[in-house]
Amino acid sequence: MTVPGTAGQPVVVRSGAGELLDVGGIRHLFALTAEHTEGRLGLEEFVLPPGTLGARPHVHGAHDEYFVVLSGELTLSTAGDDVVLGPGDVAAALRGTAHGYRNDSGTEPARALCLYTPAGYEQYFRDVHAAVAAGAEPTDDLLALLRSRYDTTTS
């Protein structure tokens, strides 16, 4: 359950609570969104099944992303480099930095936190979820179109 903050009061989101979106088989649980933080940041936990592509390389022009791996391994693709992140590892994809991520494990899900500053990119995931729920296939072209609404380009 999310307890909205009021002036001088914190926002409390209990473990496992938040806005849950299944986007192409990837579970996104948004604990904090723009609505909770006055647009300052968004925070999600995502679970990438084994052998799953999370995102092809792309570039954000309007927000930064920070990843914290909780369990499993997350492969972060950057400009010509792949870096395998394990539990406790942290990565920052600042504005203008090409990055993508995937779970190359054949057996273990990758679980990670992703922090967005400022908030707002959670709406992209809502858009993808809504499009898929309406029967659309999450093709590269559709994802690129939806990303473009949030100053994000495929690299």
pLDDT digits (tens, 9 = 90+) for 100-115: 999 999 999 999 999 9
Confidence of residue 79 (pLDDT cuts 50, 70, 90): confident
**Cα of 6 vs its chain's centroid, Å:** 27
Closest CA to 116 of 17, 26, 46, 50: 46
Residues contacting residue 135 through CB under 8 Å, at least 6 positions apart: none
Kindly state the average pLDDT of the residues 118-138.
94
- Is the Cβ–Cβ distance between 70 and 147 less than 8 Å? no
Domains for the chain: give ranges and CATH numbers. 33-124 (2.60.120.10)
Torsions phi, psi for 30 (to 5 deg): -85, 110
DSSP letter at 50? T
Whether 3 has a pLDDT exceeding 70, the answer reads: no
pLDDT attached to residue 1: 45
The encoded tokens of residue 99 equal: 């990055």
Instruction: Determine if the pTM surpasses 0.85.
Output: yes
Answer for the pair 33, 119: CB distance below 8 angstroms, yes or no: yes
